[in-house]
């Protein structure tokens, strides 16, 4: 049982707000949407407590008038009811008349309940966790409105609500300024990292090395031919092993069935340093898709570590949470990851994240990967170099150009990944470039980690401030102020009066 601060009162959310749902999807049709019309507010348009309307999600004035009951009023709190819980914002004067979308709710505070106080309460960590735990659905969670209305809340006196909001705005303003500086530093570090990757994979980092005398004779073109011979030799060994296992002699012309890897499209490719050449990823690596998660794969008898998209960031792995999956006979030998494999994200809702990749470090034995990750296993070439190229700006541009989108999800495929052109320097130059890159990146990695820690601390501080605010611990109570019990009594009386008026009007019209 929560302790109720002096002058505060415990209530249900339904006691202090009026809840309205957005229109059903069938209420809107394609012809209702127009350029420059009345904005519709859905969860995707709410960020950091503010409403940022989309130019695409707008309807005509006639449609808005038809859906008048869903119009937003000054001081309404728009709360997202689909996807990420806790997305909410207060409607400002310039936003009056906009429409609540199908994925949102209008939470209208009763007289005496401050909109900003309500918005902060609904976005506080405790409330968000509760609503998330009680949400329904799997693909996209939906807010349980009954749970929302039955939410236990602590209501302070009117004047204390104002003091809480004022104090929060002061503290959160300072906190937001610090977060903005940290994010600016984060962007600069990302830009610095990109400049390093560019220098490494385009030859600037090894320019002095190339100019020095005594370089090995093998060029990138020579290396490519050696790789292609090795690929074919490996294929032939596998075929011979299959024939031996079956107890049959190799049939006539079996070597002719070898499929040569796709060559790169050289159109619009920039010039390379002397001794370099262009190759396709298909020429440089063995590429394979992953395992689709399904009920029959629930881990039971043959459970193995299962890497997901969430485990692959751009240029590094996130292995704090590893799932498991059931493998069937013969699959582990074919699908187990090896140290040096490159894992590429095949599908993502964000175009900037499609194709992000990281090098598998082999830290988890017998790990396999899901079908939304594509594995590229380098042949006689440094995986670090390929990974650096794919994560560089030019590599990202190549992959985003290939990505297809369906229903807002951008996707690649094994076939598309295979076609990506990769610059190929001599092997010795790859070693020099990656050694220099690793040393330079290590210097900035500490700064990146420190910035991330500071952002996490700021997020935790924000949660603590909101927790203190809605527990009556942020500002002092004033015993001379009207207690919240009287405020709630007025709200109940007003609701009863309004209900009585509504019933009288209904009797007159019947």
Q: Give domain status of residue 505, yes or no.
A: no
Token duo for residue 386: 């390929």
Query: Same domain, yes or no, for 142 and 285?
Result: no
- pLDDT of 170 reads 94
- pLDDT of 510 reads 44
The Cβ of residue 120 has, within 10 Å, a number of other Cβ atoms equal to 25
Query: Same domain, yes or no, for 76 and 59?
Result: yes
- 309 and 345 in contact (C-beta within 8 Å)? yes
- Rounded to an integer, what distance in angstroms lies between the CA atom of residue 106 and that of residue 115? 12
- pLDDT of 150 reads 94
389, 409, 425 — which closes off a domain? 425
- pLDDT of 407 reads 55
Query: Same domain, yes or no, for 49 and 115?
Result: yes
Q: In the predicted model, what is the mean pLDDT of residues 297-324?
A: 92
- pLDDT of 1 reads 55
pLDDT band at 138 (very low <50, low <70, confident <90, very high): low
Higher-confidence residue of 243 and 504: namely 243
Query: Same domain, yes or no, for 244 and 305?
Result: yes
Query: Same domain, yes or no, for 395 and 462?
Result: no
- Rounded to an integer, what distance in angstroms lies between the CA atom of residue 182 and that of residue 190? 12
Q: What is the pLDDT of residues 99-130, one digit of tens each?
A: 998 889 999 999 999 999 999 999 998 899 99
The Cβ of residue 166 has, within 10 Å, a number of other Cβ atoms equal to 12
**Number of separate domains in the chain:** 3
Q: What is the DSSP letter of 71?
A: B
Q: In the predicted model, what is the mean pLDDT of residues 308-334?
A: 92
Q: In the predicted model, what is the mean pLDDT of residues 168-178?
A: 93
372: Cβ contacts below 8 Å, ≥ 6 apart: 290, 308, 309, 345, 346, 347
Q: What is the pLDDT of residues 249-298, one digit of tens each?
A: 999 999 999 999 999 988 888 999 999 999 999 999 999 999 998 888 99
Q: Give domain status of residue 493, yes or no.
A: no
The Cβ of residue 339 has, within 10 Å, a number of other Cβ atoms equal to 10
- 488 and 9 in contact (C-beta within 8 Å)? yes
Identify the CATH number of the domain in which residue 294 sits. 3.90.220.20
The rounded percent of the chain whose pLDDT value lies above 90 is 65
Higher-confidence residue of 381 and 47: namely 381
Q: Give domain status of residue 498, yes or no.
A: no
Query: Same domain, yes or no, for 280 and 320?
Result: yes
480: Cβ contacts below 8 Å, ≥ 6 apart: none
115, 140, 157 — which closes off a domain? 157
Query: Same domain, yes or no, for 384 and 236?
Result: yes
Q: In the predicted model, what is the mean pLDDT of residues 409-427?
A: 91
Q: In the predicted model, what is the mean pLDDT of residues 64-69?
A: 88
Q: What is the pLDDT of residues 86-103, one digit of tens each?
A: 899 999 999 999 999 888
Query: Same domain, yes or no, for 415 and 370?
Result: yes
Between strands 33-41 and 99-100, the pairing is parallel
Asked if pLDDT for residue 25 goes beyond 90, the answer is no
The Cβ of residue 302 has, within 10 Å, a number of other Cβ atoms equal to 13
Query: Same domain, yes or no, for 252 and 296?
Result: yes
Angle at 297 between CA 296 and CA 298, to 5 degrees: 95
Q: What is the pLDDT of residues 75-85, one digit of tens each?
A: 999 999 887 88
Compute the mean pLDDT over every residue in the chain, rounded to the nearest whole number: 89
- Rounded to an integer, what distance in angstroms lies between the CA atom of residue 329 and that of residue 235? 22
pLDDT band at 468 (very low <50, low <70, confident <90, very high): very high
pLDDT band at 144 (very low <50, low <70, confident <90, very high): confident
- 165 and 470 in contact (C-beta within 8 Å)? no
Token duo for residue 265: 């499209």
> HSE of 330 in the Cβ direction (CA atoms, 13 Å)?
0
Query: Same domain, yes or no, for 390 and 348?
Result: yes
Query: Same domain, yes or no, for 467 and 406?
Result: no
pLDDT band at 445 (very low <50, low <70, confident <90, very high): confident
Among the residues of 276-407, which ranges form H helices? 281-284, 331-335, 383-391, 393-402
- pLDDT of 507 reads 46
- Rounded to an integer, what distance in angstroms lies between the CA atom of residue 378 and that of residue 395? 17
Query: Same domain, yes or no, for 410 and 465?
Result: no
CA distances from 455 to 169, 176, 181 (A): 19, 10, 10
- pLDDT of 509 reads 42
Task: Return the sign of the alpha-carbon dihedral for residues 213, 218, 220, 221.
Answer: positive
Token duo for residue 140: 């996209």
Between strands 277-280 and 421-424, the pairing is antiparallel
Task: Determine the structural domain holding residue 316 and report its residue range.
Answer: 224-425
Q: What is the pLDDT of residues 67-76, one digit of tens each?
A: 888 999 999 9
């Amino acid at each position: 049982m929560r302790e109720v601060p002096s002058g505060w009162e415990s209530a249900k959310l339904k006691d202090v707000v009026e809840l309205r749902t957005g229109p059903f999807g069938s209420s809107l049709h394609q012809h209702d949407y127009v350029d420059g019309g009345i904005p519709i507010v859905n969860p995707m348009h709410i960020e950091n407590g503010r409403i940022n309307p989309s130019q695409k999600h707008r309807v005509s004035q006639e449609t808005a008038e038809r859906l008048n009951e869903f119009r937003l009023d000054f001081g309404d709190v728009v709360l997202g009811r689909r996807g990420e819980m806790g997305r909410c914002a207060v409607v400002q004067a310039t936003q009056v008349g906009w429409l609540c979308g199908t994925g949102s709710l209008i939470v209208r505070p009763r007289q005496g309940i401050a909109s900003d106080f309500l918005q902060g309460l609904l976005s506080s960590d405790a409330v968000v966790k509760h609503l998330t735990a009680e949400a329904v659905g799997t693909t996209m969670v939906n807010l349980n409105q009954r749970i929302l209305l039955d939410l236990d809340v602590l209501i302070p006196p009117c004047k204390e609500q104002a003091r809480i909001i004022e104090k929060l705005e002061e503290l959160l303003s300072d906190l937001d300024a610090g977060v903005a500086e940290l994010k600016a530093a984060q962007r600069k570090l990302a830009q610095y990292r990109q400049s390093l990757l560019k220098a490494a994979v385009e030859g600037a980092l090894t320019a002095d090395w190339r100019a020095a005398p005594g370089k090995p004779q093998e060029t990138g073109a020579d290396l490519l031919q050696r790789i292609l011979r090795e690929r074919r030799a490996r294929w032939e060994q596998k075929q011979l092993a299959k024939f031996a296992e079956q107890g049959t002699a190799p049939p006539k012309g079996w070597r002719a069935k070898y499929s040569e890897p796709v060559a790169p499209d050289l159109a619009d490719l920039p010039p390379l340093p002397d001794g370099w050449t262009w190759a396709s990823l298909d020429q440089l690596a063995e590429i394979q898709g992953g395992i689709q998660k399904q009920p029959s794969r629930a881990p039971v008898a043959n459970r193995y570590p299962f890497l997901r998209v969430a485990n692959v960031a751009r240029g590094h792995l996130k292995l704090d949470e590893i799932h498991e999956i059931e493998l069937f006979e013969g699959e582990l030998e074919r699908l187990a990851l090896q140290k040096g494999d490159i894992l590429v994200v095949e599908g993502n809702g964000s175009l900037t994240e499609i194709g992000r990749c990281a090098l598998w470090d082999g830290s988890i034995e017998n790990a396999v990967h899901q079908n939304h990750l594509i594995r590229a296993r380098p042949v006689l070439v440094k995986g670090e170099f390929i990974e650096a190229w794919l994560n560089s700006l030019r590599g990202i541009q190549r992959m985003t150009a290939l990505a297809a989108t369906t229903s807002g999800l951008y996707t690649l495929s094994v076939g598309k990944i295979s076609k990506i052109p990769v610059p190929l320097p001599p092997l010795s130059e790859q070693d020099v470039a990656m050694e220099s890159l690793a040393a330079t990146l290590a210097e900035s990695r500490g700064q990146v980690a420190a910035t991330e820690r500071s952002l996490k601390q700021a997020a935790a501080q924000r949660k603590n401030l909101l927790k203190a605010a809605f527990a009556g611990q942020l500002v002092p109570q004033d015993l001379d102020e009207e207690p919240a019990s009287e405020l709630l009594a007025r709200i109940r009386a007003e609701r009863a009066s309004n209900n009585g008026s509504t019933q009288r009007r209904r009797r007159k019209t019947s």
